[in-house]
């Protein structure tokens, strides 16, 4: 199962670049959890990854640092936890590589300004009507 991890359309990471470590899972599980190493940690060294371009490497490292880590200990099966850890690693890397579009500033439309001011006038009128009527001392 040496298929590369497909991150985006143009980025795929070979499994040889991902370090997989196993250890004992924490939490409940009884005797099974005490004897099996079912927790899987997937680590990708972004700083040394030849699969990423210099621009992609810089962008990802600015967001997540030089090493990207994903851990899975959800199931009793080490194989399933390995799949989960690799999928989490893939989604985190995809999020780190995503280019955010620049925000285009806009101004409120004339209609929205008029509606806003109309509702403010209406609210002020409601509050004015709640006041006590002025005393007429004559």
pLDDT in tens, 39-74: 999 999 998 889 899 999 999 999 999 999 999 998
Q: Is 65 left (phi over 0), alpha (psi -120 to 50) or beta?
A: left
Query: What are 45's two structure tokens?
Result: 């060294």
Residue 73 within any structural domain of the chain:
yes
Q: For the residues 100-126, what does the mean pLDDT come to?
A: 96
* Averaged pLDDT score across all residues of the chain: 89
Burial of 33 (0-12, 13-18, 19+ CB in 10 A): middle
Helix (H, G, I), strand (E, B) or coil at 72: strand
Identify the CATH number of the domain in which residue 90 sits.
3.30.160.20
What band does 2 get if pLDDT is binned at 50, 70 and 90?
low
pLDDT digits (tens, 9 = 90+) for 83-100: 999 999 999 999 999 988
Query: What are 99's two structure tokens?
Result: 């280019």
Q: How many structural domains compose the chain? A: 1
Greater confidence, 111 or 7?
A: 111
pLDDT of residue 134: 85
Tokens 């070979």: give the residue.
Answer: 14
Residue 37 within any structural domain of the chain:
yes
Whether this prediction's pTM lies above 0.75 is answered by: no
Residue 136 within any structural domain of the chain:
no
Residue 35 within any structural domain of the chain:
yes
Q: Is 27 left (phi over 0), alpha (psi -120 to 50) or beta?
A: left
pLDDT of residue 33: 67
Residue 106 within any structural domain of the chain:
no
Residue 82 within any structural domain of the chain:
yes
Q: Which segment of 28-37, 76-85, 91-100 scores lowest on mean pLDDT?
A: 28-37
- The fraction of the chain above a pLDDT of 90, given in percent, is 61
Give, in order, the Cα–Cα distances in Å from 53 to each of 19, 48, 56, 94, 101.
20, 11, 5, 14, 20
pLDDT of residue 28: 67
Residue 135 within any structural domain of the chain:
no
Residue 31 within any structural domain of the chain:
yes
pLDDT of residue 105: 93
Q: Note down the domain range covering 14.
A: 5-97
């Amino acid at each position: 199962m040496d298929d590369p991890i497909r991150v985006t359309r143009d980025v795929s990471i070979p499994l040889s670049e991902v370090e997989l470590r196993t250890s004992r899972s924490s939490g409940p599980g009884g005797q099974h959890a005490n004897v099996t190493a079912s927790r899987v940690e997937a680590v990708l060294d972004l700083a040394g990854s030849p699969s990423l371009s210099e621009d992609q490497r810089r962008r990802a490292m600015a967001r997540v640092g030089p090493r990207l880590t994903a851990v899975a200990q959800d199931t009793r099966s080490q194989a399933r936890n390995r799949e989960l850890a690799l999928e989490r690693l893939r989604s985190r890397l995809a999020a780190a590589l995503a280019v955010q579009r620049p925000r285009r500033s806009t101004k409120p439309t004339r209609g929205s300004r008029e509606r806003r001011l109309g509702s403010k006038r209406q609210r002020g009128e409601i509050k004015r009507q709640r006041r006590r009527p002025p005393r007429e001392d004559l």
